[in-house]
Amino acid sequence: MKYTIKEDPHKNELVQKVMEISGENIFSCYQCGRCSSGCPMAEFMDVLPNQVFMFLQEGDVDTLLNAKTPWICAACFTCTVRCPVGLDLAAVMEAIRELQLRKNYDYVDPYKVEDREELPPIALVSNFRKFTP
């Protein structure tokens, strides 16, 4: 069954793209809030995990693309374990990050990272994988 949004066709395409990349049906979420209540990173997020699904269901992808939440998500899968429907919010967050990274904008300049020599190389590598296209 294919779901559609009655708003802007561009937003509809982005929502469909998030669903395609993540493999999740975002319209299954009924806003119980368990993902937000169990998220260890929720206090640092500007959009709560359950609100991610709400914005997607409403077709407001721009809010999510400009939010810090997808980048703060630790992908710990607490939300997935707690979800009564079995939605994988970590996959949805990864899809949102992927859409943002496809714009080919580097969020981290390796030459401007302070204390590069003191940081473990694996921390730098994982950061660059997450924040650069």
Mean pLDDT by 10 residues, the chain (133 residues): 49 88 93 93 93 93 90 90 94 91 67 71 71 61
Inside any domain, residue 15: yes
Same domain for 97 and 113, yes or no, is no
| Spatial CB neighbours of 116, under 8 Å, sequence gap ≥ 6 | 110, 124
pLDDT at 87: 95
Same domain for 55 and 96, yes or no, is yes
pLDDT at 103: 74
Same domain for 113 and 98, yes or no, is no
- For residue 36, give the nearest of 78, 96, 94, 86 by alpha carbon: 78
pLDDT at 108: 62
Q: Is the pTM of this model over 0.75?
A: no
pLDDT at 125: 73
- For residue 87, give the nearest of 55, 62, 50, 48 by alpha carbon: 50
Same domain for 75 and 122, yes or no, is no
Q: How many CA atoms lie within 13 A of 40 on its CB side?
A: 5
Inside any domain, residue 3: no
Q: Which domain holds residue 38?
A: 9-102
Provide the domain count of the chain: 2
pLDDT at 1: 43
